[in-house]
């Protein structure tokens, strides 16, 4: 997949404007067709038929199209190439670097924007897990058309919307800079995923910071991550935390929100108990995040965390 992104980046400077015009039209037709007919591309692009034919051959030759019965299918390489091309034209991207996170549903790369600033590029890859599983977890999947591309496109749209909503409240999440198709450009947040951390001298303080972040997102923005785990919590060099991956987020007024919040908190409390031997009552943690009074146990935990953090700062 890394080689695919490099190939996509190289193709952005190789393909003709006509080829990109045909590719753009193809992606716009993805929701309507299992396989995109040649006649629909001719009508959508307003190009002479011979130019459309030539562009189709170029896209096939480079692996951006796959020939299917009755038409063409846009490949993930095709979607990658179009997304990178669009981000470059929007002046949001100039260079793609090394991967910094390969997940079950997305890849994240170091990248450079048009003024030389480091950013993170996230490309959704929903097809890595079974479509049946995806359909159970998300309401926006279609059983028709290019199902994997549609799922990746919808995931990116959803995450962009959630991140922009959370940005208004200055919460501990990445800032979304822009999106093109299934690709999102975000501010670079340097950190290590929690699951990769072997030892934490201030594990209790980190747990409290996670609960504080969940509480702020829930109470200030009215949002529940609904997929929170040690895999989407970053710890920065300053031992701050950043919550990432929001395509499955739900509003707090949705029927399932409370159960999803409880599941998120239980995941985190259980992980800290098993990995770092930090134990607090999950019901106390849930009550704290929901704002149902100031639980005495959580209050003591928070107070202890502040004292330790203060002493650590003095020692440094």
**In the chain, at which residue ranges do the beta strands (DSSP E only) sit?**
65-68, 71-74, 95-102, 106-112, 118-124, 176-180, 183-187, 192-193, 223-224, 233-235, 241-243, 250-251
The residue extents of the domains of the chain are 2-80, 85-187, 192-315
| CATH class of the domain comprising 2-80 | mainly alpha
For residue range 234-263, list pLDDT tens digits in order.
999 999 999 999 999 999 999 999 999 999
From first to last of its 316 residues, the chain has per-residue pLDDT tens of 568 999 999 999 999 999 999 999 999 999 999 899 999 999 999 999 999 999 999 999 999 999 998 899 999 999 999 999 999 999 999 999 999 988 888 999 999 999 999 999 999 998 765 444 544 555 444 444 478 899 999 999 999 999 999 999 999 999 999 999 999 999 998 889 999 999 999 999 999 999 999 999 999 999 999 999 999 999 999 999 999 999 999 999 999 999 999 999 999 999 999 999 998 999 999 999 998 865 555 554 554 554 444 433 333 2
CA dihedral in degrees (154, 157, 160, 165; nearest 10)?
-100
Residues, the chain:
316
For residue range 5-60, list pLDDT tens digits in order.
999 999 999 999 999 999 999 999 999 998 999 999 999 999 999 999 999 999 99
Provide the pLDDT for residue 84: 98
- CA 54, CA 61: separation in Å to the nearest integer? 11
**Domains 2-80 and 85-187 belong to one CATH topology:** no
Pick the CATH number of 192-315 from 3.30.750.24, 1.10.510.10, 3.40.640.10, 3.40.50.720: 1.10.510.10
Active-site residue, from 107, 204, 227, 284: 227
Pick the CATH number of 85-187 from 3.40.190.10, 3.30.300.30, 3.40.50.1970, 3.30.200.20: 3.30.200.20
- CA 101, CA 175: separation in Å to the nearest integer? 17
Count of H-run helices and E-run strands, the chain: 11, 12
| Predicted TM-score of the model (pTM) | 0.85
DSSP-derived secondary structure for 223-254: EE-SS-SGGGEEE-TTS-EEE---TT-EETTS
Structure tokens at 256: 């399932």
CA dihedral in degrees (196, 199, 201, 203; nearest 10)?
50
Active site residue 253: no
């Amino acid at each position: 997949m890394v080689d695919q992104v490099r190939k996509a980046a190289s193709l952005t400077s190789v393909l003709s404007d006509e080829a990109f015009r045909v590719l753009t039209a193809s992606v716009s037709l993805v929701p309507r067709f299992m396989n995109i007919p040649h006649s629909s591309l001719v009508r959508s692009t307003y190009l002479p038929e011979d130019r459309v034919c030539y562009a189709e051959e170029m896209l096939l030759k480079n692996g951006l199209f796959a020939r299917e019965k009755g038409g063409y299918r846009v490949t993930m390489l095709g979607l990658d190439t179009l997304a990178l091309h669009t981000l470059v034209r929007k002046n949001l991207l100039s260079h793609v670097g090394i991967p910094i996170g390969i997940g079950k549903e997305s890849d994240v790369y170091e990248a450079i924007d048009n003024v030389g600033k480091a950013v993170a590029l996230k490309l959704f890859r929903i097809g890595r897990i079974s479509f049946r599983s995806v359909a159970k977890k998300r309401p926006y999947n279609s059983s028709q058309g290019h199902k994997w591309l549609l799922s990746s496109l919808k995931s990116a749209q959803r995450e962009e919307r959630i991140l922009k909503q959370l940005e208004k409240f200055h919460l501990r999440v990445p800032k979304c800079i822009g999106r093109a198709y299934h690709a999102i450009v975000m501010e670079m947040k340097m950190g290590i995923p929690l699951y990769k951390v072997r030892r934490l001298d201030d594990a209790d303080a980190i747990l409290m910071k996670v609960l504080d972040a969940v509480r702020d997102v829930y109470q200030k923005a009215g949002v529940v991550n609904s997929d929170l785990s040690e895999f989407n919590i970053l710890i920065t060099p300053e031992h701050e935390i950043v919550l990432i991956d929001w395509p499955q987020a739900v509003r707090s007024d949705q029927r399932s929100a409370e159960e999803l919040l409880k599941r998120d908190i239980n995941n985190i409390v259980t992980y800290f108990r098993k990995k770092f031997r930090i134990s607090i009552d999950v019901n106390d943690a849930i009550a704290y995040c929901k704002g149902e009074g100031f639980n005495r146990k959580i209050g003591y935990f928070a107070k202890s965390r502040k004292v330790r953090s203060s002493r650590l700062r003095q020692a440094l």
